[in-house]
């Protein structure tokens, strides 16, 4: 195959490029890039739930994560619910070479991961 890529890799590239052209660009969300970077530092690409993310931020295990979460949910309402809705809206979003991926539903909660693009 061209450039040593498999058919599947070429197909994925073409589909990604066509989707990028066809879909309107999302408005830039200033919270996305810091959130993805903090989640990458937290998980290293492993899947997590919104509750796990909030728990780790509350216990201060990842410094930037607390700031990123505060920027998303602020002081209003239920943080878990606001984070869950934010994650749903931003699933598939990319910033600074990282992508938010909704992995699967497990025990009633969605698992998410941050992957490198």
The 10 Å CB-count burial string (b at 16+, else e) for 67-84 is: ebbeebbeeeeebeebbb
Q: Can you tell me the mean pLDDT for 5-29?
A: 76
64 against 44, higher pLDDT: 44
Structure tokens at 57: 């931020």
Confidence of residue 101 (pLDDT cuts 50, 70, 90): very high
The pLDDT of residue 85: 85
pTM to 2 decimals?
A: 0.68
| Alpha-carbon gap, residue 44 to 114, rounded angstroms | 8
Residue ranges of alpha helices (H) inside 1-117 are: 7-22, 32-43, 50-58, 63-73, 79-90
- Each domain of the chain, given as residue ranges in start order, spans 28-116
Q: Is 59 helix (H, G, I), strand (E, B) or coil?
A: coil
């Amino acid at each position: 195959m061209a450039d040593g890529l498999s058919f599947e890799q070429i197909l994925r590239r073409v589909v990604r490029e066509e989707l990028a052209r066809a879909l309107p660009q999302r408005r830039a969300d200033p919270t996305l890039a810091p959130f993805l970077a903090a989640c990458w530092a937290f998980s290293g690409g492993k899947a997590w739930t919104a509750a796990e993310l909030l728990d780790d931020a509350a216990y201060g295990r990842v410094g930037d994560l607390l700031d990123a979460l505060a920027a998303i949910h602020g002081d209003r309402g239920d943080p878990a619910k606001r984070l869950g809705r934010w994650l749903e809206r931003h699933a598939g979003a990319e910033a600074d070479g990282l992508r938010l991926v909704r992995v699967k539903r497990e025990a009633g909660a969605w698992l998410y991961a941050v992957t490198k693009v």
